[in-house]
Amino acid sequence: MSGALTLLDRLWAMHEILLREDGTSLLWVDRHLVHEGSHHAFAKLKDRGAQVAQPALTFGIVDHYAPTRNRGTEMAPDIARMIKTLTLNAEAHGIRLFDLFDPAQGIVHVVGPEQGLTLPGLLINCGDSHTSTHGALGALAFGIGATEVAHVLATQTIWQKKPAAMRITVEGDLGPGVSAKDIALHWIAKLGVGGAQGHAVEYAGSTIRGLSIEGRMTLCNLSIEGGARFGMVAPDDTTFAYLNGRPFAPKGADWDMACAAWAELRTDPDARFDRDVNIQAADIAPTVTWGTSPEQAVPVDADIPDPATLHSGKASAALAALDYMGLSAGKPIAGTPVDQVFIGSCTNGRIEDLRAACAVLAGRKTKVPGIVSPGSALIKAQAEQEGLDRIFTDAGLEWVASGCSMCVGMNGDLVAPGKRCASSTNRNFQGRQGRGARTHLMSPAMVAAAAVTGQITDVRPLLQGRAA
């Protein structure tokens, strides 16, 4: 390729096998991650009498249906069947499986980076929309549908049209109590759920460079909630430090060569984007959703917007959301009572997230119940070594095993109809956490603040004098 290149240009060219006349590329897939929901694709292979093309590049992980309690006892029949089906498919095709009792089990988008399966420059697919998480390490990562999963299993390739390039630049220092989750909710509220539609988003700027890999993963995870095809952050020394020593990362001389190659995965200074968005970190506050879409979000110290002030396309959706959520326009979002809380998910279930919540919870008692589900078994073990589990349980929250849990409710962890949950997850759609459930998205620290006050609360006063 010639001319000034974006990170997207470089990654795409590295994986393009051929380009059709209609502009669709056949791409090589370096890592394919599958979970219980991939059973449809395996069934398609079986119907064709086909085998997995590259079993060494495919990894299975039990997460969506993983029980977070009493794993050694009898599971609900539907849950047991889904997990057993993945186990049998992995065995039949020689796929490495992180099963329910694997010491490295966890949520697929947590385990991939944690194990070093996610590396800069790789193309990573999974039958899950939040595969964009892996872009935080400079990978080309996006979710695919069941038919595409079957195609990748059978050929280790995928047909895709290259998206337009978009850059979101965030400059400056984040204020106290403001996190990557708030950056994401801020830009999605600003641009809308279609604000990045048809684009691959590269995050740049001093604020992004200052984020940990955990924070970058949260940001890339939520990219699709703003309509993006996927999100990316160029790899840097922070990336290399995170990956060094991971089980599947290169070792020895290969590590040095890999780092040198990864350092070239960047956007040229004069590269042009189809869309450029600039945000000042100082303008971002702890943010919380009030409606049934991630774009229906406001700073915690703001009022719930009046639908009459929105343009017609958004007004009707806002009215419906307020009705479903049982809220009134013009009132402060802070002070809204909650019935329970949830901390976890592929968005905010990492060790950094648990520490942030514990900075609020330490020495305090919760006024509402809730559960904390670490993103992986290894994170759970680390949190227990650091004593975080005791902070959660002493405060009054339930400490459970790793899995998708209450984010999507497939394993039985649900919010009851009409109940309101302060949640560190990624989606607040109607029924996402259970039929009739009302979900407010926010950072783990904000969830902790809601837990100790029993209502949506600005976390910043609760952090004064504490190490956030």
pLDDT in tens, 143-201: 999 999 999 999 999 999 999 999 999 999 999 999 999 999 999 999 999 999 999 99
User: Lowest-confidence range among 31-45, 280-294, 305-319, 365-379?
Assistant: 305-319
Residue 8 confidence (pLDDT): 98
Map residue 345 onto helix, strand or coil: helix
Residue 313 confidence (pLDDT): 80
Residue 41 confidence (pLDDT): 95
- Burial-class residue 394 by CB neighbours within 10 Å (0-12, 13-18, 19+): middle
User: Residue 109's beta-bridge partner residues?
Assistant: none
**Residue 265 reports pLDDT greater than 80:** yes
Q: Which of 3.30.499.10, 3.40.50.1240, 3.30.70.270, 3.40.50.450 would CATH assign to domain 288-463? A: 3.30.499.10
**Residue 216 reports pLDDT greater than 80:** yes
For 181, residues 6+ apart whose C-beta sits below 8 A from its C-beta are 218, 222, 287, 347, 348, 424, 441, 442, 443, 444
**The CA-based dihedral angle spanning residues 88, 90, 96, 97, taken in that order and rounded to the nearest 10 degrees:** -50
Task: Tabulate helix, strand, coil % of the chain (nearest 5).
Answer: 40, 20, 40
Residue 243 confidence (pLDDT): 98
Q: Name the residue among 452, 444, 385, 454 with its Cα closest to residue 179.
A: 444
pLDDT bracket for residue 282 (50, 70, 90): very high
What average pLDDT does the structure give for the chain? 96
User: Lowest-confidence range among 173-187, 299-313, 315-329?
Assistant: 299-313
Q: What is the pLDDT of residues 81-114, one digit of tens each?
A: 999 999 999 999 999 999 999 999 999 999 999 9
Kindly report the CA angle at 222 between 220 and 227, in degrees rounded to 5? 105
Q: Are 464 and 343 in contact (CB under 8 A)?
A: no
**Residue 460 reports pLDDT greater than 60:** yes
Q: What would the mean pLDDT of 364-377 be, rounded to a whole number?
A: 98
Q: 164-235+267-283 has which CATH code?
A: 3.40.1060.10
Residue 2 confidence (pLDDT): 61
Q: Do domains 7-162 and 164-235+267-283 have the same CATH topology?
A: no
Distance in angstroms (rounded) separating the CA atoms of residues 106 and 255? 26
**Residue 415 reports pLDDT greater than 70:** yes
Topology of the domain covering 7-162: Aconitase; domain 3 (3.30.499)
Q: What would the mean pLDDT of 2-8 be, rounded to a whole number?
A: 91
Q: What would the mean pLDDT of 338-361 be, rounded to a whole number?
A: 98
Residue 271 confidence (pLDDT): 97
Distance in angstroms (rounded) separating the CA atoms of residues 286 and 284? 7
Q: What would the mean pLDDT of 395-399 be, rounded to a whole number?
A: 98
Domain range list for the chain? 7-162, 164-235+267-283, 288-463
pLDDT bracket for residue 37 (50, 70, 90): very high
Q: Are 293 and 321 in contact (CB under 8 A)?
A: yes
What is the Rg, in whole angstroms, of the alpha carbon atoms belonging to the chain? Answer: 21
Place of tokens 């249906």: 65
Q: Are 300 and 446 in contact (CB under 8 A)?
A: yes
pLDDT bracket for residue 311 (50, 70, 90): confident
Distance in angstroms (rounded) separating the CA atoms of residues 306 and 310? 7
For 407, residues 6+ apart whose C-beta sits below 8 A from its C-beta are 342, 344, 345, 346, 347, 423, 425, 426, 427, 432, 433
**Residue 468 reports pLDDT greater than 60:** no
pLDDT bracket for residue 412 (50, 70, 90): confident
Residue 1 confidence (pLDDT): 58
**The CA-based dihedral angle spanning residues 287, 132, 223, 111, taken in that order and rounded to the nearest 10 degrees:** 0
Residue 73 confidence (pLDDT): 84
pLDDT bracket for residue 416 (50, 70, 90): very high
pTM: 0.96
**Residue 372 reports pLDDT greater than 80:** yes
**Residue 241 reports pLDDT greater than 80:** yes
Q: Are 443 and 356 in contact (CB under 8 A)?
A: yes
Distance in angstroms (rounded) separating the CA atoms of residues 237 and 252? 17
Q: Are 300 and 332 in contact (CB under 8 A)?
A: no
Q: What is the pLDDT of residues 123-132, one digit of tens each?
A: 999 999 999 9
